[in-house]
């Protein structure tokens, strides 16, 4: 009899706990995004405001853009927030995303040693700078991680007329890691690297590195966000995921992006589009 009473009380306790909002599981979504948004500190600035407004926690998986899109293709994320337009368009063409929205932009920069052995800084044209680096066989650090930055780097070599697969030698270091480690290696070896400005501004271990090339129109860096298609992946939290995308492109989200600064410098510039792109 006592055992039946105890069992009944335990069962009742479990039922009450399950019904109690105080112990209900927290609402959360998974966002596959880039190391640049994470390492720049942007997410640390944004996500608390979104959670306070909606009660939805955001769990970020910060990898290269290519890996982030693959996570979306597997249905292991609710939202992807990345920066490689060609790869994003392919993702959408496959039916993997519902809609793509412009969210914000910043730019890429060529960072290198102040001594600038390749003389890359003598010309503001990034293609000329890359040609000079290759011709001098000056140390260059490539992320090599299928990120948006890596894609931009490879695109720049190609537009510069440099067959990097054939030209690379010991001077060209592929590390398969994010922007922070790439900058750390460049600082350690006195090498050149293509970086996003946001991560550079938040980077502390600059040593002898400085910005050598900036402002070329080819260095424009657009970010987009997409809800992963719940018709392909029924586990996607469509309502809460879309709430995050909608907040990013709303006046509140855009204002939060614009307000993120390091030492007075704005890292990202909101340019949301409410239309499918």
The DSSP-derived string for 115-172 is T-TT-GGG-S-HHHHHHHHHHHT--EEE--SS-HHHHHHHHHHHHTT--HHHH-STTE
Are residues 131 and 207 part of one domain? yes
DSSP letter for each residue of 171-225: TEEE----HHHHHHHHHHHT-EEEEEHHHHHH----TTEEEEE---GGGEEEEEE
**Do 127 and 170 fall into the same domain?**
yes
Same domain, 111 and 213: yes
Domain for residue 255, yes or no?
A: yes
Do 202 and 213 sit in the same domain of this protein? yes
Asked whether 140 and 112 are in contact (CB, 8 A), the reply is no
- How many CA atoms within 13 Å lie on the side-chain side of 98? 20
Residue 11, in any domain of the structure: no
* One domain for residues 64 and 79: yes
Residue 84 lies in a domain: yes
Whether 172 contacts 164, CB under 8 Å:
yes
Instruction: Read off the pLDDT of residues 226-272 as tens digits, 9 standing for 90 and up.
Output: 999 999 999 999 999 999 999 999 999 999 999 999 989 999 999 99
CATH number at residue 72: 3.40.190.10
Q: Evaluate if residue 9 carries a pLDDT over 70.
A: no
Do 32 and 91 share a domain, yes or no? Answer: yes
Portion of the chain with pLDDT greater than 70, in percent: 90
Q: Does residue 66 share a domain with residue 35?
A: yes
Look at residue 23 and tell me whether its pLDDT is greater than 80: no
**Position 172 in a domain:** yes
| C-alpha–C-alpha distance, residues 121 and 211, integer Å | 9
Q: Is the residue at 16 inside a domain?
A: no
Residue 3 lies in a domain: no
The boundaries of the domain holding residue 171 are 107-219
Our count of domains for the chain comes to 2
| 130 touches 156 (CB < 8 A) | yes
Q: Is residue 91 part of a domain?
A: yes
Do 70 and 143 fall within a single domain? no
């Amino acid at each position: 009899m006592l055992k039946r009473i105890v069992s009944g009380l335990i069962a009742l306790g479990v039922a009450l706990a399950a019904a109690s909002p105080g112990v209900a599981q927290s609402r959360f979504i998974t966002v596959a995004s880039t190391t640049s948004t994470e390492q720049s500190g942007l997410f640390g600035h944004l996500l608390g405001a979104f959670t306070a407004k909606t009660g939805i926690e955001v769990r970020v998986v910060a990898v290269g853009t290519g890996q982030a899109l693959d996570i979306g293709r597997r249905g292991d994320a609710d939202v992807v927030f990345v920066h490689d337009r060609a790869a994003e368009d392919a993702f959408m063409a496959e039916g993997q995303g519902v809609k793509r929205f412009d969210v914000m932009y910043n730019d890429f920069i060529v960072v290198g040693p102040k001594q600038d052995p390749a003389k890359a800084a003598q010309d503001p044209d990034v293609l000329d700078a890359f040609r000079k680096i290759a011709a001098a066989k000056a140390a260059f650090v490539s992320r090599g991680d299928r990120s948006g930055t890596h894609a931009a780097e490879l695109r720049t070599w190609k537009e510069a007329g440099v067959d990097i697969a054939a030209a690379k030698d010991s001077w060209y270091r592929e590390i398969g890691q994010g922007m922070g480690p790439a900058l750390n290696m460049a600082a350690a070896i006195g090498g050149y690297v293509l970086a996003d400005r946001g991560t550079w501004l938040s980077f502390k271990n600059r040593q002898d590195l400085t910005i050598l090339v900036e402002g070329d129109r080819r260095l424009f860096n657009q970010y987009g966000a997409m809800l992963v298609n719940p018709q392909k992946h029924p586990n996607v939290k469509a309502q809460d995921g879309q709430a995050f995308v909608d907040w990013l492109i709303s006046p509140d989200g855009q204002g939060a992006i614009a307000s993120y600064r390091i030492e007075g410098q704005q890292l990202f510039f909101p340019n949301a589009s409410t239309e499918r792109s």
